[in-house]
């Protein structure tokens, strides 16, 4: 059986401190309607933001947006520069949150989680880029 790595990804709502200074901190999902959102959009389809309710069902939010991108890195950059509120995976915003360039919004709301799995063959040598991917997925599991 090949080795398996699993990483749980949590999606979080965030924005730049400068945006919160201007518009205030949202207190609920409904409050997000006051903000322009930075959304993932590709091939005519926009990813709705999903938040689990107390029963585990997903509440889908389709925020008002002026900026749409098919690249999460672009959405991250726009959020850091105060262009709107973003819903991004924790691994992508971790550094910006730690440095204070982003604030997590609505931290008491349950986050949408999903697993990423990686299977690889057992071999005596693995390509360097595969070793990097394995290390990134397993860093918090050691």
Residue-wise pLDDT for 49-66, tens only, equals 888 888 878 888 888 898
Question: Structure tokens of 132?
Answer: 């990097």
Question: Structure tokens of 87?
Answer: 């819903």
Class level of CATH domain 11-110? alpha beta
Percent of the chain, pLDDT > 90? Answer: 41
Question: Structure tokens of 136?
Answer: 């990134």
Task: Specify whether the CB–CB gap between 18 and 82 falls below 8 A.
Answer: yes
Task: Specify whether the CB–CB gap between 106 and 119 falls below 8 A.
Answer: no
**What band does 1 get if pLDDT is binned at 50, 70 and 90?**
very low
Question: Mean pLDDT, the chain, as a whole number?
Answer: 85
pLDDT: which is higher, 90 or 3: 90
Question: What pTM value is reported for the model?
Answer: 0.77
Chain segment 33-43, per-residue pLDDT in tens: 889 999 998 88
Domain ranges of the chain: 11-110
Task: Specify whether the CB–CB gap between 85 and 14 falls below 8 A.
Answer: yes
- What is the distance between the alpha carbons of residues 2 and 49, in angstroms, rounded to a whole number? 34
- What is the distance between the alpha carbons of residues 45 and 50, in angstroms, rounded to a whole number? 15
* pLDDT reading at 24 higher than 70: yes
């Amino acid at each position: 059986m090949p080795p398996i790595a699993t990483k749980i990804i949590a999606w979080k709502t965030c924005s730049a401190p400068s945006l919160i200074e201007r518009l205030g901190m949202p207190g609920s999902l409904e409050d997000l309607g006051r903000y322009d959102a930075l959304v993932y959009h590709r091939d005519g389809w926009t990813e709705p933001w999903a938040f689990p309710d107390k029963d585990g069902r997903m509440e889908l939010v389709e925020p008002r947006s002026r900026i749409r991108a098919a690249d999460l890195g672009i959405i991250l950059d726009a959020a850091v520069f105060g262009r709107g509120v973003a819903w991004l995976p924790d691994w992508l915003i971790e550094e910006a949150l730690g440095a204070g360039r982003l604030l997590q919004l609505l931290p008491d709301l349950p986050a949408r989680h999903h697993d990423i799995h990686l299977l690889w063959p057992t071999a005596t040598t693995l390509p360097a880029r595969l070793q990097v991917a394995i290390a990134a997925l397993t860093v918090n599991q050691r």
